[in-house]
Amino acid sequence: MQKEHRRKVGVLWLILIAMAYGGLLLWLRTFTGNPLVDGVIGIVLGLYVCSHPAANAVDLLFFQRYSLQQLTSGWSGLGWLALNLLALLMGWLMIATGAARLAARTA
């Protein structure tokens, strides 16, 4: 008998940290004073934020821990999918912001 796999929503709230970091970069123009460090922080933070929804997608697609019909049948499942998509979007934005900081440093 397979254990029921709980949805890990708490980890996905890392998007708030990514949003705060992005907001600080927009407001202050630099977080550490060094574009290289700002870029590296953005890329690492973005990769970490993207890793959790990606792991959830692998679980969904390959390990059948969740059934897609079960996830899309109720509001809690749709909310969980939306939170995963938002986390992926925020992570991607952090990666792009970090890469832009690194590219601006070399230009």
* pLDDT per position as a tens digit, 5-16: 456 666 667 788
pLDDT for residue 2: 39
User: Per the domain annotation, does 45 fall within a domain?
Assistant: yes
Query: Model confidence over 42-78: pLDDT tens digits?
Result: 999 999 999 988 888 887 777 765 566 666 667 677 7
Residue 39 maps to a domain: yes
In sequence order, the 6+-apart residues with CB closer than 8 A to the CB of 18 are 45, 46, 49, 90, 91, 93, 94
In a domain? residue 23 = no
What is the spatial distance between Cα 49 and Cα 89, in angstroms, rounded to a whole number? 9
22 lies in some domain: no
In a domain, 30, yes or no: no
Q: Domain range for residue 40?
A: 35-106
Domain count for the chain, please give it: 1
pTM to 2 decimal places: 0.77
Residue 9 lies in a domain: no
Mean pLDDT over all residues of the chain? 80
How far is 47 from 82, CA to CA, in rounded Å? 19
- Residue 62 makes CB contacts below 8 A (sequence gap 6+) with none
pLDDT by residue (tens digit) across 28-45?
888 888 889 999 999 999
